[in-house]
Amino acid sequence: MKIALLTCERLPELTESDRLLIPELAKHQIEAQAVIWNDKTIDWTKFDCLIFRNTWDYYQNEKEFNLWLSQLEKAKIKTLNALEIVQRNKHKFYLRDLQQQGIAILPTIFIDPTSTLNLGELLPKEWKKAVIKPAFSAGSYLTEVFEVSEITTINQKYRTLAAEKALLLQEFWPQIQTEGETSLVFFNKQFSHAVNKKPATGDFRIQVQFGGKYTSVVPEKSVIEQAQKIVDTFPEKLLYARVDGIITNGKLYLMEVECIEPDLYFSYSHGAREKFVSATLELIH
């Protein structure tokens, strides 16, 4: 069996952590190789399955990515996670659907593309600080945190983008700087491990490239159950899902559920890579 572990031009050989999946899969007679998702020379039909891993530039190449997904769909190429999940998960308005299903999310206003952006009208009076970002984005791409007093400047800055792209406006919770963001990782809908991520002093971005600090944690059983409820909203099978949120007073407030290309923090949990491979085997056979 032949599998493509999908990556991007910036990481042609995958991240160091994901590269270790190749020998792990080989133990099960699976030949896996790193393949750049937008490499035009690739014949995708020669693979039994494509696994999304380090496609970390898809949101910067939105049209190309969408076209490529459509081509895979037409060719009936098997992917993990499945294409219908990727299609849904790439646009963060899925958070609104989850909220309608009773999932607690961070207070969010969903803004459809508009040529008359007026954040002053949209911002609830009780918000002191807010975060704005495109609905099709990742890794703090085009994301800004702003005080209410800066709303005119931010409105001008995002007006052109708002005409082309849907936006998310979220209340900024200071807990992100004190409690951090917690990521709960699931393989085949079973909880595996969790990591807490705190931003560098004075920053709000928890990613390691911005100075974020990661720690392995064991969440309370009730928090795992709340994350499980989120994962169980997916009717399809899931090779992996990463539930990101802020935990306050034992309640998980969802920021994102990542089903396309999240870092799965293999090195923060002994045996996590083996669990991933085991889930892969279950879903491809």
3-class DSSP state of 251:
strand
Distance, in Å, from the CA atom of 74 to the CA atom of 72, rounded to the nearest integer, reads 6
**pLDDT beyond 90 at 200:** no
CA angle 92, 94, 100 (to 5 degrees): 135
Global pTM value: 0.94
Question: CA 12 to CA 6: how far, in whole Å?
Answer: 9
Q: What six digits make up the tokens of 75?
A: 């060719």
* Fold that domain 2-80 belongs to in CATH: Rossmann fold (3.40.50)
User: Distance (Å, rounded) from C-alpha 93 to C-alpha 136?
Assistant: 9
- CATH code that applies to domain 94-104+175-279: 3.30.470.20
Q: Which residue has the higher pLDDT, 285 or 227?
A: 227
User: Tokens 């039994």 belong to which residue?
Assistant: 48
Q: What is the reported pLDDT for 192?
A: 98
Rounded to whole angstroms, the Cα distance separating 271 from 155 reads: 47
**What is the token pair recorded at 204?**
């709000």
pLDDT tens-place string over residues 207-242: 776 667 899 999 999 999 999 999 999 999 999 999
Q: pLDDT band for position 161 (50/70/90)?
A: very high
3-state secondary structure of 105: strand
CA dist., res. 7 & res. 22, Å (int): 13
Q: Which of 244, 264, 256, 247 is nearest to 188 (CA)?
A: 264
Structure tokens at 144: 């800004």
pLDDT value of position 201: 72
Core vs surface per residue 86-118: b (16+ CB within 10 A) or e: bebbbebebbeebbeeebebbebbbbeeeeebe
Lowest mean pLDDT among 33-47, 78-92, 169-183, 270-284: 169-183
How large is the average pLDDT for residues 164-173?
95
User: What is the predicted pLDDT for the residue at 178?
Assistant: 85
Tokens of 208: 């390691």
Task: Give residue 205's pLDDT band: very low, low, confident or very high (50, 70, 90).
Answer: low
